[in-house]
Amino acid sequence: MSEGRWLHRNPIADAEPGILLLPRGDHVISLVGHPRLLDTATGRLVAEWPEVGVPVKSTCLGVSHVPSPAVALHPDGTRLAIAQAQNIAVITLS
């Protein structure tokens, strides 16, 4: 952003309204239905965790009856914590 230009501009496989993305180095973590690790250069799926549920929202803003996922990425980018109904899921990222 500091250069005022796009570095990559690729479609994301699961792109849909309300997609939530969390940056992680050369990847982004998609948070729709379940977490997915995507390559920013190609938009391709690197890894996914379908056993870890994430709320699906039709839009990022203005939808109050579906909570935004509560997530935290470890500062070194190796682990992702996602709040679940009864616990916290911790994912080790490759």
Q: Tens digit of pLDDT for each residue in 26-57? A: 898 988 889 999 988 888 899 999 999 987 76
Examine residue 15 and state whether it is found in any structural domain, yes or no: no
Give the residue from 79, 82, 78 showing the smallest Cα distance to 31: 82
Measure the CA–CA gap between 55 and 19, rounded to whole angstroms. 11
In the chain, the percentage of residues whose pLDDT exceeds 90 is 38
Examine residue 33 and state whether it is found in any structural domain, yes or no: yes
Examine residue 61 and state whether it is found in any structural domain, yes or no: yes
Examine residue 26 and state whether it is found in any structural domain, yes or no: yes
Measure the CA–CA gap between 53 and 40, rounded to whole angstroms. 23
Examine residue 2 and state whether it is found in any structural domain, yes or no: no
| C-alpha angle 82-91-83 in degrees, rounded to nearest 5 | 10
Examine residue 51 and state whether it is found in any structural domain, yes or no: yes
Specify the pTM: 0.76
Examine residue 7 and state whether it is found in any structural domain, yes or no: no
The domain containing residue 35 runs over which residues? 21-92
Examine residue 3 and state whether it is found in any structural domain, yes or no: no
Number of domains in the chain: 1
